[in-house]
């Protein structure tokens, strides 16, 4: 139950972080924002480690730990976030989040291949129900958005045509990026679990040191890899000037700070802690509730329309998540 509870907390934190992330990305741009997020997260994590172990970096981690967690950062932050923000531009955030629900089965398959993890039939059913509910919720939001774009004087046929047009005109590149984002997150989480197992096995905690040292140190290693990837992309895409402009945007930096605190810093650290106490597939599925939890705050802040399909999908997702506690 401890791992499942932590995973649900992560979903809440990521929901709040996503709101600040959207606000920040609209002001700063996706790639500059990711560089800023990684830098801020490294500062926050470094301060946390300083108080935990007296050093601002994971000095206890051995070479094998660095290898696995760096691979996790490459897949989760580098590849995954790169695909995610590209899918935002091509197919929009709501469809992108729909594809992100594939992270759970990707994580379960990767954990089966690398770790030999097994899930009970009840867990598999719960995962399927939760993913179905999340998918219905996001699809319901998209259909509601398409209806809003049609004027009140248009015929019903025009509205149905708009939906069909939306369904068949998704750019294939956007779909590939969306699937890639889910693949990066799912595989990255499993690689994190492998890295943390090496971390805990090779460096037993000294008396008085918190067990949070492992996930915080692991997240720092992942963030270092992510920062390297995003800086490389920034240089290759010749967008260094955008980063300089973003740093001088005070309001945007405020949003970026909270997006970082709730996402890469605290949220990701707790996600690594969650997989230490429960199976990767269960943790990833519960953390995938973020697209459902974001419905209400999105309505309050961005005035997004809430449809009956969204509410129904949310209920189904919660019922699926409840199966993990039976």
Residue range 50-94, pLDDT digits in tens? 988 888 888 878 889 999 999 999 999 999 988 877 777 677 666
Q: Tell whether the model's pLDDT for residue 11 goes beyond 60.
A: yes
Q: Tell whether the model's pLDDT for residue 145 goes beyond 70.
A: no
Share of the chain above pLDDT 70, in %: 82
Higher pLDDT among residues 202 and 186, named by residue = 186
Q: 181: how many CB neighbours lie within 10 A of its CB?
A: 27
Closest CA to 50 of 41, 40, 59, 63: 59
What is the pLDDT of the chain when averaged over all its residues?
A: 79
Mean pLDDT score, 112-126? 78
**Phi and psi torsions of 101, nearest 5°:** -65, -15
Q: Which residues does 4 contact at the CB level (< 8 Å), separation at least 6?
A: 274, 278, 282, 283, 286, 324, 325
Closest CA to 76 of 281, 232, 223, 256: 223
Distance (Å, whole) CA 98 – CA 139: 8
Q: Tell whether the model's pLDDT for residue 32 goes beyond 80.
A: yes
Closest CA to 177 of 93, 112, 111: 93
Q: Which of 151-160, 185-194, 251-260 has the lowest mean pLDDT?
A: 151-160
Higher pLDDT among residues 160 and 268, named by residue = 268
At 304 the pLDDT is 66
Burial (CB < 10 A; 0-12, 13-18, 19+), residue 94, is buried
Confidence (pTM): 0.76
Q: Which residues does 309 contact at the CB level (< 8 Å), separation at least 6?
A: 136, 137, 139, 140, 141, 143, 144
């Amino acid at each position: 139950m401890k791992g499942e509870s932590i995973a649900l907390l992560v979903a809440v934190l990521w929901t709040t972080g996503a709101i600040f992330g959207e606000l920040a990305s609209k002001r700063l741009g996706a790639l500059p924002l990711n560089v800023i997020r990684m830098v801020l997260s490294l500062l926050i994590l470094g301060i946390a480690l300083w108080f935990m172990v007296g050093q601002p970096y994971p000095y206890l981690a051995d070479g094998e730990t660095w290898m696995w967690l760096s691979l996790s950062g490459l897949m989760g932050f580098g590849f995954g976030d790169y695909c995610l923000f590209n899918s935002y531009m091509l197919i929009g955030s709501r469809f992108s989040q729909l594809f992100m629900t594939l992270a759970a089965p990707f994580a379960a398959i990767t954990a089966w291949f690398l770790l030999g993890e097994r899930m009970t039939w009840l867990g598999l059913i719960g995962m399927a129900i939760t993913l179905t509910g999340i998918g219905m919720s996001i699809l319901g939001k998209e259909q509601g958005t398409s209806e809003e774009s049609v004027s009140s004087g248009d015929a019903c046929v025009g509205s149905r045509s708009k939906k069909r047009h939306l369904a068949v005109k998704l750019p294939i590149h956007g779909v590939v990026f969306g699937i890639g984002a889910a693949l990066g997150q799912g595989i990255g989480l499993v690689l994190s679990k492998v890295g943390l197992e090496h971390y805990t096995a090779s460096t037993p905690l000294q008396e008085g040191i918190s067990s949070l040292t492992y996930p915080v140190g692991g997240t720092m290693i992942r963030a270092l890899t992510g920062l390297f990837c995003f800086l490389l992309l920034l240089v290759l895409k010749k967008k260094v000037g955008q980063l300089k402009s973003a740093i001088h945007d005070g309001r945007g930096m405020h949003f970026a700070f909270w997006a970082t605190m709730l996402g890469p810093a605290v949220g990701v650290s707790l996600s690594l802690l969650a997989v230490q106490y429960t199976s990767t597939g269960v943790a990833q599925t519960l953390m995938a509730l973020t697209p459902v939890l974001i419905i209400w705050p999105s309505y309050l802040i961005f005035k997004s329309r809430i449809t009956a399909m969204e509410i129904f999908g949310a209920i189904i997702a919660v019922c699926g998540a409840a199966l993990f506690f039976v």
